[in-house]
Amino acid sequence: MTAEPFALVTPNNFGPDQRTRIALFAMNVQLLQSETLSAINVSGVDTRSVSYNLPVESLTVVPGFDWLYSVIVRLPEDALLKGDLAVTLTLRGLKSNTVLVGIRAP
């Protein structure tokens, strides 16, 4: 639980790959009964106009806020990525607002 800018890799990670995960908060992202996490597409575009798919690792309802969801995504492996990453979530063809996530240079 740290503030941005985020490092792409950090030794204080719970995952064995040391890659940073971030939580995105969104409304109206409940999955249909037949859908899996693969129905959610999270993409990012950096300041060099390089596009990334950010793997979705979990989707949970925020406790006490049944209308709010936490979407956990893994940041990309590109060592050249730094500055703002414009992130958008898409579900069933509907796109979210774009948010900027700060990435710290290695």
Residue-wise pLDDT for 45-58, tens only, equals 999 999 999 999 99
pTM: 0.90
What length is written for the chain? 106
83 pLDDT above the threshold of 90: yes
Percent of the chain, pLDDT > 70? Answer: 96
Query: Across all residues in the chain, what is the average pLDDT?
Result: 92
Q: What percent of the chain has pLDDT over 90?
A: 77
| Both tokens assigned to 63 | 């406790």
CA distance 21 to 32: 25
